Structure 1
Amino acid sequence: MRRIAILGNGGAGKTVLANRLSTVLGIPVTHLDDLRYADDGTTVAEAVFVDLQREVVAGEAWIIDGNSLASLPIRLGRANTVIVVDPHPLVCLLGILQRRLRYRGGRHPDGVVDRINASFLWYVGWRYRHTHLPKVRACIAEHFRGAPVIHLTSRRQADLWVDVFTHHHGKGGR
């Protein structure tokens, strides 16, 4: 487990999981939002975004969290572990609200860019699970050749998985 792609809905807990695994494994984490957005908050050109991902995945050890379906094959082609964080959409919406209250919008210290609008809330609450996730699964089936996909369906399950993983690997966790 040296090249990890973490996927999931907005507010699902991808960044928290990525940061925890980074601590346990001593592997650097890259948040796709850090690659997608320039320092001034503007979106970088797609070609630049793709090239930045290719640079990261060329490394021997990395954790990348994020959702970009168009460039997912880049990550899946080099990943040896894929984790799908898939709690109920209401949990994701609550996660977005909690994040907004904690950081007050903008770019967060953990890399997330907070751009909440009606379209994003509709995506998180409905479209992700019904239209986006099936496409993610198809992309995984086509491009990922690693171990079985780890599918975590709740934050509690994610916490327990990291705790068990940490215990078996003899390193500090939370």
Structure 2
Amino acid sequence: MQRILVYGVTGSGKSTLAARIGERLGLPYHAVDDLTWRPGWVPLSEPEQRKVIGELLSADTWVIDGGYAIWLDLVMERADLIVGLDMPRWVSWSRMVRRSVRQIVRRTPTCNGNYETWRLFLFDRESLLYFHFRSFRRKQARMRQWHDSPEFPETVLLRSPAEVERWLAGLKVG
């Protein structure tokens, strides 16, 4: 396992787990949101994202914490393990709400110095709340398809925080 994708819905724990996997295995971890968003919540264009992600994925080792549809094909060509966080909706939903509220109240910067706001969190048409609901079933089905098909890289599905901890504890270092 040298090239690992941690995949799941918003709030499932992708970034936290990807960083922990990278640390445990001595692999470089890359936060996808830091690579795809500029300050002011300006997204890189699709061609720019594909270029940046393609360059990152050309390395021999990496752990990334998500797969945007516009460049997921690049990841699937190179990943040798997918860790799917197939958590119940209430787990990811509650984590996302707690994280966002904490970041808004504390004014904690997120990717590239951007800040979440109440307006972005609650009312924006690209709100994480709405995105979570729109993407949950699609991402869940995608992970399960990867897991069930030999056409895709090896896929581990973790369905609870306890399963995540057991799996992580069992990772062989080096």
Q: Which residue of 2 aligns with 1:123?
A: 131
User: Does the 8 Å contact 1:2/1:80 carry over to 2?
Assistant: yes
- Corresponding position: 1:149 with 2:155: yes
Q: Which residue of 1 aligns with 2:140?
A: 133
1:169 to 147, 160, 173: 173
Q: Which residue of 2 aligns with 1:66?
A: 66
Q: Tell me how large the CA RMSD over aligned residues is.
A: 2.8
Distance in 1 between the 2:151 and 2:115 partners?
27
Matches within 5 A, 1:2-151: 2-104=2-104, 107-108=109-110, 114=116, 116-117=121-122, 119-124=127-132, 126-135=133-142, 137=144, 141=149, 144=152, 146=153, 148-151=154-157
Q: Give the deviation of 1:52 after TM superposition.
A: 0.4
User: Does the 8 Å contact 1:9/1:67 carry over to 2?
Assistant: no
Paired-residue identity, %: 24
Q: Give the deviation of 1:122 after TM superposition.
A: 3.4
Distance in 2 between the 1:111 and 1:156 partners?
32
User: Does the 8 Å contact 1:22/1:63 carry over to 2?
Assistant: yes
* TM-score normalized by the length of structure 2: 0.81
**Off by >6 Å, runs of 4+ in structure 1:** 109-113
User: Does the 8 Å contact 1:31/1:112 carry over to 2?
Assistant: no
Deviates more, 1:107-116 or 1:150-159: 107-116
- Counterpart residue identity of residue 16, structure 1: T
- Counterpart residue identity of residue 160, structure 1: R
User: Does the 8 Å contact 2:3/2:60 carry over to 1?
Assistant: yes
User: Does the 8 Å contact 1:54/1:74 carry over to 2?
Assistant: yes
Structure 1 residues 93-119: Cα deviation after superposition (integer angstroms, max 9, x where no partner): 111122123322664279997453465
* Structure 1: segments with no counterpart, 5+ residues: none
- Counterpart residue identity of residue 32, structure 2: L
Q: Secondary structure at the match of 1:169?
A: coil
* Structure 2: segments with no counterpart, 5+ residues: none
- Counterpart residue identity of residue 76, structure 2: L
